[in-house]
Amino acid sequence: MVEVRTDAGQAGTPELTPNPAFPTARLVERRDMTEDLMVIKLEVSEKFDFKPGQYCTLGLGKIERAYSIVSAPYEKYLEIFVELVPDGELTPKMWDLKTGGLMSVRPRAKGIFTKDKKMHHHFMLSTVTGLAPSMSMVRQYLHDGGHEGSEEKQVFYIMYGASYIDELTYDVELQELAEKHPDVVKFVPTISRPTESRNDGWTGATGRVNTIAEEYLEKFSLPKDDTKVYACGHPGMIEDMKEKLSPEGWNFIEERFWKP
């Protein structure tokens, strides 16, 4: 059940005051996807440049953390997909933020988990919030009209895993893109706990991303010398994929969100 919050104001305790040394990021929209997943849109007080796939550094008071950017550079707001870590330092405080609330954002985006322009095939493995960099890359590519030139067309194969259907936050958008641009976007959402009642009605792929990825690499007939594999999100998924694919000669890049 998605809850869109529109109430104004900032949970006003001193430790939530954004660091004045940095630009501010004002929360303009918040969608609660589940109890521990939310999508927020932020308006940055200064021009904020980034490449699709990069991350920004958000903060409240002295606490700062990295967040991959879902939105593409052409979009007006920074879109971030956040998972609540109940014992974490920052995310429980972010959960108190309401529309109009302020965070700080470091002025420069960072990261090298960006699209390899030399490759035509982009095989993207992600779990839950780890979808963010892929979303940004696909949105920007389609916005730029890169798919309209037939010679240099690039294809995005997006494997998107979660335990539960309601955690697949961008499934509707990706399904629509895959239907509208079938030669550019191939979308494979997968559920790892298909027998649980929360997943009733699921008819798509089942199993963790890392257990089905190789099957899809084969199904899509991807050429090793023209394919980049991107793995982002759960460290276990990344580790497993790296162990399986790197020795096989796949060109592999990763972005880990936390250390187990």
- Kind and range of the H or E run holding 95: helix 91-95
Shortest Å distance, C-beta 231 to ligand FAD: 13
Cα dihedral 117, 120, 126, 131 sign: positive
Contacting residue, 72, 82, 105, 222, with ligand FAD by CB under 6 A: 82
Sole window of 83-91, 115-123, 167-175, 238-246 interacting with ligand FAD (rule: CB under 6 A): 83-91
CB atoms < 10 A from the CB of 109, how many? Answer: 19
Decide: 136 and 43 in contact? Cβ < 8 Å: no
The interface with ligand FAD within residues 133-152 (CB under 6 A) comprises none
Contacting residue, 23, 88, 107, 204, with ligand FAD by CB under 6 A: 88
Applying CB under 6 A, the site for ligand FAD has a residue count of 21
Which tokens hold the place of 204? 């798509």
The interface with ligand FAD within residues 229-258 (CB under 6 A) comprises 255, 257-258
- Kind and range of the H or E run holding 10: none
Shortest Å distance, C-beta 146 to ligand FAD: 24
Interstrand relation of 24-34 and 102-105 (parallel, antiparallel or unpaired): antiparallel
Sole window of 26-34, 65-73, 220-228, 240-248 interacting with ligand FAD (rule: CB under 6 A): 65-73
Q: Does 132 bind ligand FAD (CB under 6 A)?
A: yes
**Sole residue written with tokens 């809850």:** 3
Sole window of 61-69, 96-104, 204-212, 214-222 interacting with ligand FAD (rule: CB under 6 A): 61-69
Q: Does 83 bind ligand FAD (CB under 6 A)?
A: yes
> In the complex with ligand FAD, which residue's Cβ is closer, 154 or 167?
167
Sole window of 3-11, 88-96, 156-164, 223-231 interacting with ligand FAD (rule: CB under 6 A): 88-96
Contacting residue, 41, 65, 139, 228, with ligand FAD by CB under 6 A: 65
Shortest Å distance, C-beta 119 to ligand FAD: 21
Residues 6+ apart with CB under 8 A from 42: 25, 26, 27, 28, 58, 77, 78, 79, 80, 103, 105
- The per-residue DSSP string of 143-212 comes to HHTGGGSSTT--EEEEEEEESSGGG-TTHHHHHHHHHH-TTTEEEEEEES-TTSGGGTT--SEES-HHHH
Contacting residue, 16, 27, 38, 90, with ligand FAD by CB under 6 A: 90
> In the complex with ligand FAD, which residue's Cβ is closer, 39 or 217?
39
Contacting residue, 22, 48, 50, 55, with ligand FAD by CB under 6 A: 55
Nearest-angstrom CA–CA distance, 185 and 132: 15
Decide: 25 and 42 in contact? Cβ < 8 Å: yes
Residues in contact with ligand FAD by the rule CB under 6 A: 55, 65-68, 81-83, 85, 87-91, 111, 129, 132, 255, 257-259
